[in-house]
Amino acid sequence: MTEPAENKSAAVAFRTLGCKQNQFDARWLQSQLPGDSFTVAADLHQADWIVLTCCAVTERALAKARGELHRLKRSHPQAKVVVVGCGSRYQPDQFSAADFVDQLPQEFQIAGYSNGIGSNLHGSHGLVPQGRSRAFLRIQNGCDQFCAFCIVPHLRGKSSSVPEAELQQSLQELVKAGVAEVVLTGTNIALWGRDLNPQADLLDLLKSLSKDLKYTRLRLSSLEPQFTPLELISWCTEQENICNHFHVAVQSGSDRILNKMGRGGLNKQFFTALSKIKKARPGLSLGADILVGFPSESENDFQATIKLLEEVPFNYLHVFPYSERQGTPAASFPDSISKTERLARAANLRKLDSELRLNFINSNIGRSADVITLSEKAQTKIQGLTSNYLRVQLQPGQISSNRRFTTKLSKTSFNL
Ligand code: SF4
């Protein structure tokens, strides 16, 4: 690494893997760097420091982070690499090639990070890089559920909510900055408010946050069905300023497996109501997380998942083959499923995912959409994101001076 010349600020570049929480953490770090000592480098070749934020949720995520670390060390020998995030907290020894693992170098002069990833609930909760139309607002961190397969609560701790007044203030800052979409993030956002005194819930928060929004829309990140009241879903679908999109952490359609996972069985009432809501509003986007190959998942259990996916009209799936996480109860469960079978089940559902996505795209052609612009670099190649979570290609004639506008979708919107 070349020593920065006196009075020259050091350049820091960020590489972020994993979920929206990691993206939030990386942006938080970025926002805390003292501006007189550091600049943010978009080009990794210019960086004196590279901060790699990594994920631990599956073996694949961890392997990807390790691979990325080696690639960064090889291609950017001028930079020191700092690895943070769930992955480095979970297995720091896997990142021994990094210069700093699960800790920040003193040079960064950032207080409050020493308590670990995700504990930085202080300071601004809403963060957006300059010039972007989307921002994340972290409303809580951690989870009380401790599902048998999940390492996240072990790394991020129990649920801790940001008080409503602070969220209101952060949201107002984002609104003033002209942000068109704010994604409400957290480890398990449906738990928001349970740890506050007096207790509150996510629906109350949404009513309060969305009340005076005129231009900015809110999007919910993933919802856990066992904690999400149906009233919340039906109320959201009637709001102009809440995105027409829910992502549900389904994981399995088998009651037996869900119980083994410690997720309280299949919430049939929830899925029946969700299907009804979707049938009444075909434009609504429904996504699901599915975990396949959990210990003892039989062919019948897997078929129960497929049956649920046939019954509930989801529009896309995020499919994860189960991987053992040391320190979680499921890692020592008997009757593990072979890796080949896990991958085969995942491939089966990914095929279904492709079909669902294509069907949803086709069903949106000709419809009007509430769109925000995602990139403002080149006027000819501007991408947009619809309220119902479709990425679209915007044509020059469709672009408005606002970052959020309504437009009609056509085949060209999807490069078809
Ligand atoms: S509810 Fe979600 S975040 Fe919480 S332990 Fe279960 S899978 Fe992990």
User: Is the Cβ atom of 143 under 6 angstroms away from ligand 1?
Assistant: yes
Strands (E), 294-416: 316-321, 368-373, 382-386, 391-394, 404-408
Tens digit of pLDDT at every position of the chain (416 positions) = 444 445 568 999 999 998 877 887 888 788 888 888 889 888 899 999 999 998 887 888 889 999 999 999 999 999 999 998 888 888 888 899 999 998 888 888 776 554 444 445 445 566 655 457 888 898 998 899 999 999 888 888 899 999 999 999 999 989 998 899 999 999 999 999 999 999 999 999 999 999 989 899 999 999 999 999 999 999 999 999 999 999 999 999 999 999 999 999 999 999 999 999 999 999 999 999 999 999 999 999 999 999 999 999 999 999 999 999 989 999 999 999 999 999 999 999 999 999 999 999 999 999 999 999 986 555 557 889 999 999 999 887 777 677 899 999 999 999 88
Residue 125's pLDDT is 60
Helix (H, G, I), strand (E, B) or coil at 394: strand
Q: How far apart are CA 128 and CA 248, in angstroms?
A: 25
User: Is the Cβ atom of 188 under 6 angstroms away from ligand 1?
Assistant: yes
User: Is the Cβ atom of 157 under 6 angstroms away from ligand 1?
Assistant: no
Sign of CA dihedral 342, 246, 316, 272: positive
Q: How far apart are CA 14 and CA 92, in angstroms?
A: 19
Full-model pTM: 0.84
Residue 416 Cα, ligand 1 centroid: separation in angstroms? 37
Strands (E), 221-367: 245-251, 285-292, 316-321
Best residue for ligand 1 mutational test, from 224, 227, 248, 261 (most atoms within 8 Å of Cβ)? 224
Cross-strand pairs, 16: 53
User: Is the Cβ atom of 150 under 6 angstroms away from ligand 1?
Assistant: yes
User: Is the Cβ atom of 117 under 6 angstroms away from ligand 1?
Assistant: no
Rg (CA), the chain: 22
Atom of ligand 1 nearest to the CA of 262: 6
Best residue for ligand 1 mutational test, from 55, 143, 156 (most atoms within 8 Å of Cβ)? 143
User: Is the Cβ atom of 291 under 6 angstroms away from ligand 1?
Assistant: no
Best residue for ligand 1 mutational test, from 144, 187, 223, 290 (most atoms within 8 Å of Cβ)? 187
Side-chain half-sphere CA neighbours of 120 within 13 A: 26
Atom of ligand 1 nearest to the CA of 249: 2
Pairing of strands 49-53, 10-16: parallel
User: Is the Cβ atom of 254 under 6 angstroms away from ligand 1?
Assistant: no
Helix (H, G, I), strand (E, B) or coil at 39: strand
Residue 395's pLDDT is 82
Atom of ligand 1 nearest to the CA of 224: 1
Residue 5's pLDDT is 45
Q: What is the DSSP string of 76-112?
A: -TTSEEEEESHHHHH-GGGGTTSSEESS--GGG--TT
